[in-house]
A and B are shown apart, each in its own frame.
Chain A
Amino acid sequence: MLSDLLTPLAVNPLPWARAQMAFTLAFHIILVPLGVSWAAMALIANYRGIKHDDADALLLAQRWSKYMAVTFAVGAVTGTVLTFEFGLLWPKFMGRWGDAFGVPFALEGLFFFTEAIFVAIYIYGWRRLKPWPHFWTGIPIVIAGIGGSVSVIAANAWMNQPQGFTLNSAGEIIEVDPLAVIFNKAMPLEAAHMVVAAYIVGGFLVASVYAFGMLRGRNDRYHRIGFIIPFTVAAIAVPIQMGVGDQLARWVYQNEPEKFAAIELVPKTSDNVPETLLGRLNADVTKVEGGISIPGLASILSDPSTGTGTVVQGRDAFPEDEQPTVRQANTVHLAWDVMVGLGTFLFLLSAWYALSWLFRRDYPRSKWFLRIGSISGILAVITMEAGWVVTEVGRQPWIVRNYMKVEDAATGNTGVWITFLAVVGIYSVVGVTTILVLRGMSRRFREEAGDDETDVPYGPSARPEEVGAR
């Protein structure tokens, strides 16, 4: 039989399933902020355009909606892959927990539907709908974007804090309380953290493109607005995120102490726990090697009311097989440092911007500000990815905390390594192409407007080859 011939290709699916899920999520999560926040930013520009008769702002809104058409399509289909993967990679997880885990996704479907419908109306409606009705068709996209991400995060939060179900003696779900599943204990802060992150990442990503353009000498009003709107959105969201993140960390300290022990790299339960920047656990898990230690800070941050006297549970407080491995803990800690470090850096950048507005009614005209601004998008993406690593790796070895381990959830299909390689190949092509297509669009817009001297002003234009009377 064919299946017998394939036996030599059989490889333990677990690490590959993990890798594939991680890779496809890491890819999709970059498109999410654009889906959630770009429409809001386009609407701000759109509003300015109509209300104040601002032609530059209106042109921005139109072009952004065309870029959104591309990023939304790629986001929609990569999101669909995740839907398939829940079953393809984790059938035992879905079979046993789908009854509860699925509930937030049912809501998400509602939001995604709304988003897809109004994205289409908004993007395609520029020419023939009247300005204000057209503007209003964009509002449901903003609401659905927030609602959709809250729903998905509710499902993820449920994996951290599973509740709202009753099991029988065989461990099967016999009763589900849908509201308790959706509004699980971890949901409010996790969801807030992600929605705010979506505005930060989306804002910095879009702003960084225009910062780059201004560095290249395209210093017209169009580029300035294209920078100011998204950068302002991100700069407002960053301090909010500092507050939400701080709350969330304290919440994890109280409710998921084994994750917190990994985050803060605490080998032994004690008070007066230092905050260690970088560093890693040594092999026999007795102490932290390397890094910069700030005495007592982790205790103080965990509960300021008791200060350095706050006791933080260490790895010795939990069974070895019910917390992240040492390697995973080191990963969590590094990701945590990256998230907090870059987040703080983006906060300082936002503060610079805010002070400049406060005192000079203008964004900082320093070249260095634009240089950092032009990489702020990538930095924000790295920050978000690091945060996602903290929550996902920090939950290991569980897929449903305290109920099911990842290793018990995976598919038995031994060919997952093949699909992993295929996914990496396809996504790489799609990712690179997305960037090239967006760049090509931007170049074409500039050529059409005739506002670019760096591109070949003479020579054959790309237009005559154009096909189709679209």
Chain B
Amino acid sequence: MTLADAVAIVLFFGVTAYAIFGGADFGAGFWDLVAGGAERGERPRALIDHSIGPVWEANHVWLIFSLVVLWTAFAEAFASITLTLFVPLTLAAFGIVLRGSSFAFRKAVFRTRDQRNFGAAFALSSVLVPYCMGAVAGAIAAGRVPSGGKAGDPVTSWVNPTSIVGGVLAVTVCAYLSAVYLTWDAKRLDDPEMEAYFRRRSIGAGVAASVIEAVGIVVFYADARYLFDGLVSRALPLVILSGLCGIGSLVLLVRRANHGARLLSVGAVASVVVGWGVAQWPYLLPESLKVDQAAAPEGTLGAVLVVFALAAVIILPSLALLYVLDQKSLLPGEGVEAGPAPGD
């Protein structure tokens, strides 16, 4: 394995982590969007707030991590992607601003009208961003991003069958992951009603995601042949693994084994994302730019790997601390909302 291969694996590690952690936060926004009016949606929204409040910013950093690794180690790929996919990436950036700020604002205001407006901005952008990201992934996978400083088509590069499948799949997968996590959180917080509410939704979203994946395979056959060939050869084990995990998680959901369902849903999504990477190997931009062609000089690659090693030592334990504290309900809310503040 060359240094470039190792860094490409680091990159996909980041992308996968973003899909699993950041994706679930976006999915929560989807459920927020469809939770209904202020009264009906009150309890699911409260659970969503409670559930993603402490963790979404840390989860969001995986995106920064992935982008930074991409532009540092594979600068040409980054430049080509941003040059061609200007529109969906700009939309995603706007969506990220709206989602993050409106989520923070919603928690800080108390009037229903304000909460509703910020909530709507949060929820709509939570759907927009994964759609755009999925469309970008589709565009890359289908070979619509040329390298070498040429821009691909500004419109059809991301409005095409593979990109649409990618976008819809991303939204659905986020919703699925999120519903599974929320089922778990509801159980943890002793809220059987919400547990059932999100269990139904996680099963629905899981089934929808499988259908879209199946449709996707057919679409890829027609529209993204290199990806298709990779999926049915190199990446086939991962495709099968993803299917098994997905089915397993649905079975466990029905049987109310929330913990196992959560692990399997992560496995299902992770193997799809990794499968994408394996399917288009050795290309970063299929049939136009290979990993080793795009790779930075060794000094840079070494630096990225050193930073990744530092991250493994510093960030992973810190993240674990955050999640453990969160799961133990030691991070219940900002400040000391419940009860009188000391000094009052």
Interface residues of A (CB under 8 A from B): 1-3, 55-56, 58-59, 62-63, 65-66, 69-70, 72-74, 76-81, 83-88, 91-92, 94-100, 102-103, 105-110, 112-114, 116-121, 123-129, 140, 165, 173-178, 222, 411-413, 415, 419, 422-423, 426-427, 430, 433-434, 437-438, 440-441, 444, 448-449, 462-463, 465-470
Decide yes or no whether B344 CB sits under 8 A from chain A. Answer: yes
Chain B residues with CB under 8 A of A176:
296-300, 303
**Cα(A70)–Cα(B73), bound, Å:** 33
**Cα(A294)–Cα(B100), bound, Å:** 50
Q: Are A114 and B315 CB-contacts (below 8 A) given A103-B72, A468-B49?
A: yes
Q: Are A467 and B154 CB-contacts (below 8 A) given A95-B78, A116-B57?
A: no
Chain A residues with CB under 8 A of B109:
437, 440
Closest B residue, CB atoms, query A54:
B343
Identify which of A69, A178, A413 contacts B107 (C-beta below 8 A): A69
Chain B residues with CB under 8 A of A98:
71-72, 75, 78-79, 296
Beta-carbon contact of A81 and B97 below 8 Å: yes
Using an 8 Å CB-CB cutoff, how does the interface string of B299-321 with A read, 1 for contact, 0 for none? 11011100100110011001101
Chain B residues with CB under 8 A of A80:
60, 63-64, 93, 96-97, 100
List B residues 153-172 near A (Cβ within 8 Å). Answer: 153-155
Report the 7 A-B pairs with minimum CB-CB distance, sorted nearest first. A102-B72, A98-B75, A87-B82, A95-B79, A55-B343, A73-B104, A124-B331
Judged by DSSP, the binding face of A is helix
Distance from B12 Cβ to chain A, minimum over Cβ atoms (Å): 16
Chain A residues with CB under 8 A of B151:
412-413
Beta-carbon contact of B69 and A467 below 8 Å: no
Interface residues of B (CB under 8 A from A): 38, 42-43, 45-46, 49-50, 53-55, 57-58, 60-61, 63-65, 67-69, 71-73, 75-76, 78-83, 86-87, 89-90, 92-94, 96-101, 103-105, 107-112, 115, 149, 151, 153-155, 296-300, 302-304, 307, 310-311, 314-315, 318-319, 321-322, 325-326, 329-338, 341-344
Distance from A189 Cβ to chain B, minimum over Cβ atoms (Å): 23
Chain A residues with CB under 8 A of B315:
110, 113-114, 117
Q: Are A124 and B89 CB-contacts (below 8 A) given A65-B334, A433-B101?
A: no
Beta-carbon contact of B68 and A59 below 8 Å: no
**Cα(A113)–Cα(B253), bound, Å:** 32
**Cα(A107)–Cα(B342), bound, Å:** 39
Beta-carbon contact of B344 and A449 below 8 Å: yes
**Cα(A77)–Cα(B336), bound, Å:** 26
Chain A residues with CB under 8 A of B93:
80-81, 84-85, 88
Beta-carbon contact of B297 and A174 below 8 Å: yes
Q: List 11 A-B contacts (CB under 8 A).
A: A77-B101, A83-B67, A86-B71, A94-B82, A97-B75, A102-B296, A108-B68, A110-B315, A113-B315, A117-B318, A462-B111
Identify which of A95, A114, A129, A466 contacts B330 (C-beta below 8 A): A129
Given contacts A95-B79, A120-B54, A415-B86, 20 further A-B contacts (CB under 8 A): A55-B342, A65-B334, A77-B60, A77-B101, A81-B96, A87-B78, A91-B78, A92-B149, A94-B79, A105-B71, A109-B61, A117-B319, A120-B322, A120-B331, A124-B326, A415-B154, A422-B90, A423-B94, A468-B46, A469-B43
Beta-carbon contact of A110 and B311 below 8 Å: yes
**Cα(A80)–Cα(B95), bound, Å:** 11
Beta-carbon contact of B110 and A106 below 8 Å: no
Q: Are A99 and B318 CB-contacts (below 8 A) given A107-B307, A109-B64, A124-B331?
A: no
Chain A residues with CB under 8 A of B73:
102
Beta-carbon contact of A59 and B341 below 8 Å: yes
Identify which of A114, A116, A413, A466 contacts B314 (C-beta below 8 A): A114
Beta-carbon contact of A114 and B318 below 8 Å: yes
Beta-carbon contact of B110 and A463 below 8 Å: yes
**Cα(A421)–Cα(B93), bound, Å:** 14
Distance from A71 Cβ to chain B, minimum over Cβ atoms (Å): 9
